[in-house]
Amino acid sequence: MVCALKGNSLRRYLCLNLYMGLSFLVSVGRYLVISRSGVSSMEYAYFYFYSDALLTIGLYFALLNLYSLVFDEMKVERYLRLGAVILLGGTAWFSYAVINQSSHRILSHFAFELSQNLYFVGLVLTYVLWGAILKLRETRTRLIQLVLSLGVYFSAFAADYALRNLYPNLQPVWQYVTPALGCILPAAWMYSFLFVTEEARLAPSRLATVPR
């Protein structure tokens, strides 16, 4: 947020910066819960997964912000918003349907399932956005880097959530892996806001060239 403010980009990337602000507040909240109840307490586990579901929804809207920037000239913002709300509702319904069949502790498992599914939906949407960037020949370097770093983050977290689901007994490993993955997005966005100017241009087709 500070780097975006320094580069006069706070308003342009408002949802991204709001997400970062929310992420900061959640981190402070988690620290307070840890210091009061301990890292292995139920209070922290509940706080962690509920706040994570909230953050994932925030990140989903940050992704929508990037969509509206890429499709800026097409004036399709209304349709994008409608599509995003329908997809969010659909994911929530699907998560509830999965949990309803297999679990007694519906609410806490719902938060976990919703986060996992939203990370995956976010990943697919980021992939579609990257496809649109290539197709529309979007050249704004900063925007390209923000989208790509979001893709790295979503895919890393989707894989992390899936592995946690497959191997729930490896909690001592996940407690280090997940915070390390959490550094990806702030670090990549800080780099983009500090070192890449809004005027910088890049041909995205160059990045996707693979040898045959």
Partner 1 sequence: MMAAFIFVVSVVIFLQFFVFYCRSLIAVSSKQPLSPEVQDVTGIQRAASGEDFNRVMQLLHLCPERPEDRKGIQAIGAYFRLLSFAGSTVAQLAPSMKSWTDSERGHCTYFAAIALERRISFSRDMLAQQMDA
Residues at the interface with partner 1 (CB under 8 A): 3, 116, 120, 123, 126-127, 130, 141, 144-145, 148-149, 151-152, 155-156, 158-159, 161-163, 165-166, 183, 187-188, 190-191, 194-196, 200, 202, 206-208, 210-212
CB of 33 to partner 1, least distance (A): 27
Q: Which letter does DSSP use for residue 209 in this model?
A: -
Give 47 or 189: the residue with its C-beta nearer to partner 1.
Answer: 189
The distance between the two most distant Cα atoms of the chain, rounded to a whole number of Å, is 57
CB of 30 to partner 1, least distance (A): 22
How far apart are alpha carbons 157 and 116 in whole angstroms? 8
Q: Which letter does DSSP use for residue 3 in this model?
A: H
Give 64 or 146: the residue with its C-beta nearer to partner 1.
Answer: 146
Q: What angle do CA 130, 131, 132 make, to 5 degrees?
A: 90
Which of 74, 66, 172, 180 has the alpha carbon at shortest distance from 129? 66
Are residues 142 and 198 in contact, defined by beta-carbon separation less than 8 angstroms? yes
The distance of Cα 208 from the centroid of its chain, to the nearest Å, equals 22
Give 26 or 158: the residue with its C-beta nearer to partner 1.
Answer: 158
Give 58 or 151: the residue with its C-beta nearer to partner 1.
Answer: 151
Give 86 or 194: the residue with its C-beta nearer to partner 1.
Answer: 194
Are residues 117 and 128 in contact, defined by beta-carbon separation less than 8 angstroms? no
Radius of gyration, alpha carbons of the chain: 18
CB of 203 to partner 1, least distance (A): 8
How far apart are alpha carbons 164 and 35 in whole angstroms? 25
Give 33 or 150: the residue with its C-beta nearer to partner 1.
Answer: 150
How far apart are alpha carbons 121 and 146 in whole angstroms? 18
CB of 52 to partner 1, least distance (A): 16
CB of 36 to partner 1, least distance (A): 30
CB of 211 to partner 1, least distance (A): 4
How far apart are alpha carbons 137 and 170 in whole angstroms? 43
